[in-house]
């Protein structure tokens, strides 16, 4: 039974996040969205997982379950979300080299399959993830953005970028990020490892990016990190206060949660061996 890894890009504006409601009762809360309430109602919300899973089912003509790597919240975008599914009968539907075209032909314009590849049978997009990276993009200028307004958060005032970079360095490493998540995050531990946090100007001089990457994140953690660094840039907080928020894990000491508009899941990385197709697996059994 071939197992496939999908790389999925989407504009999250009109989606209620990644996770379909039907799976909320069994999947643990992810880093970007909490579990749905039990009384969420009978009317299903539009989610990326549900839309893509339905398209895959139509293409392979069999029931499949699509498992995703990151539970992005409502309004959050992705360039490289990762999902996986098992195909019970590869003789039905299109061949492997046309799966992406077939699935995309059944998807709406705000979500797209970027890549489809066969992976090892035990590949799991959640447990095998080594690291993932997010970008929060700020538009700083007198006028709000027009063409990219769905993908940035607008600020009228300038920011002290050097102060932001100093504060960002405090976030790198293993810390208790309890101050950088909301109540009801649903995780037993709020200790996480941030591998890097950078503040950088993009090619467009009005765009400032906050890049954060690590081994895993808490509910709205990146949006709170971005909100905290913006407060530092405005002179309302400093690096010492960021350090104190980490030390105490007190949510009141960190900055606000910025809107989802500017947040994008940029990449997810896995060990090479779990992405090795069975045909190329040196450990695979040789044919008789």
CA distances from 25 to 21, 33, 36, 70, 124 (A): 8, 13, 8, 16, 19
Burial of 66 (0-12, 13-18, 19+ CB in 10 A): buried
Spatial separation of the C-alpha atoms in residues 137 and 209, rounded to whole Å: 4
Catalytic amino acids?
A: 73
Spatial separation of the C-alpha atoms in residues 171 and 115, rounded to whole Å: 33
Enter the DSSP assignment of 262. G
Q: Are strands 131-140 and 153-155 parallel, antiparallel or unpaired?
A: parallel
First to last CA, the chain: 19
Q: Are strands 131-140 and 207-214 parallel, antiparallel or unpaired?
A: antiparallel
* The two three-digit tokens of residue 262, written as one number: 């500017």
Positive or negative torsion for Cα 109, 114, 31, 25: positive
Q: Which of 74, 66, 8 is nearest to 45 (CA)?
A: 74
Residue that is written with structure tokens 């197709």 in the block: 277
Q: Which residues pair with 82 in a beta bridge?
A: 7
């Amino acid at each position: 039974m071939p197992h496939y890894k999908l790389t999925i890009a989407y504009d999250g504006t009109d989606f209620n996040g990644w996770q379909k409601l039907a799976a909320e009762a069994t999947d643990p809360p992810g880093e970007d969205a909490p579990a749905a309430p039990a009384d969420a109602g009978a009317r299903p919300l539009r989610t990326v997982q549900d839309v893509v899973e339905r398209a895959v089912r139509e293409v392979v003509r069999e029931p499949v379950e699509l498992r995703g790597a990151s539970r992005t919240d409502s309004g959050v975008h992705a360039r490289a979300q990762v999902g996986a599914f098992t195909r019970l009968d590869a003789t039905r539907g299109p061949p492997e080299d046309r799966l992406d075209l077939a699935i995309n032909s059944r998807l709406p314009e705000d979500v797209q399959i970027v890549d489809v590849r066969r992976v090892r049978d035990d590949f799991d997009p959640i447990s095998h993830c080594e690291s993932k990276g997010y970008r929060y993009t700020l538009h700083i200028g007198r006028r709000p953005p027009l063409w990219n307004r769905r993908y940035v958060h607008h600020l009228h005032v300038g920011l002290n970028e050097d102060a932001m970079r100093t504060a960002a360095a405090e976030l790198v490493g293993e810390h208790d990020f309890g101050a950088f998540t909301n109540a009801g995050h649903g995780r037993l531990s709020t200790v996480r490892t941030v591998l890097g946090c950078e503040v950088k100007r993009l090619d467009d001089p009005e765009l400032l990016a906050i890049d954060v990457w690590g081994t895993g994140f808490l509910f709205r953690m990146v949006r709170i990190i971005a909100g905290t660094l913006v407060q530092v840039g405005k002179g309302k907080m400093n690096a010492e206060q960021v350090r104190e928020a980490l030390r105490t894990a007190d949510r009141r000491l960190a900055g606000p949660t910025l809107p989802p508009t500017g947040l994008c899941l940029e990449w997810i990385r896995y060990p090479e061996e779990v992405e090795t197709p069975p045909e190329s697996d040196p450990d695979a059994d040789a044919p008789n």
